[in-house]
C-alpha cells in the first residue's frame, strides 16, 4: 500500500449564508463572545498578566 501524503481532492459544497444570519443569531453570538472574554480575563488574572484595553484612543495596560 502506497503512502501518499498529498491531500485528497474533495469537492466541497457550501450552502449560501442567509443575509440576516448575524441578526438572527446576534444574541447567541454575543453570549459566546462574553463567555470567551470572561474566560480570557480569568486566565490573565490567574497568571498575573495585564490586560490591554483602549481608552481615549490609546492602549492602556490594566494590571490585575
Instruction: Give the pLDDT confidence of 7-33 residue by residue, as tens digits.
Output: 667 777 777 777 777 788 888 999 999
* Other CB atoms within 10 Å distance of the CB of residue 11: 4
| Helix/strand/coil for 19 | coil
The domain spans of the chain are 22-62
Task: Report pLDDT digits (tens) over 31-40.
Answer: 999 999 999 9
The label of the residue with cell 500500500 reads 1
Q: How far apart are CA 47 and CA 60, in angstroms?
A: 18
pTM recorded for the entire structure: 0.57
Please, are residues 62 and 50 in contact by the beta-carbon 8 Å criterion? Answer: yes
Amino acid at each position: 500500500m502506497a503512502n501518499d501524503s498529498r491531500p485528497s481532492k474533495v469537492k466541497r459544497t457550501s450552502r449560501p449564508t442567509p443575509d440576516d444570519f448575524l441578526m438572527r443569531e446576534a444574541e447567541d453570538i454575543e453570549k459566546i463572545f462574553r463567555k470567551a472574554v470572561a474566560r480570557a480575563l480569568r486566565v490573565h488574572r490567574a497568571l498575573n498578566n495585564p490586560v490591554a484595553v483602549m481608552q481615549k484612543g490609546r492602549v492602556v495596560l490594566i494590571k490585575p
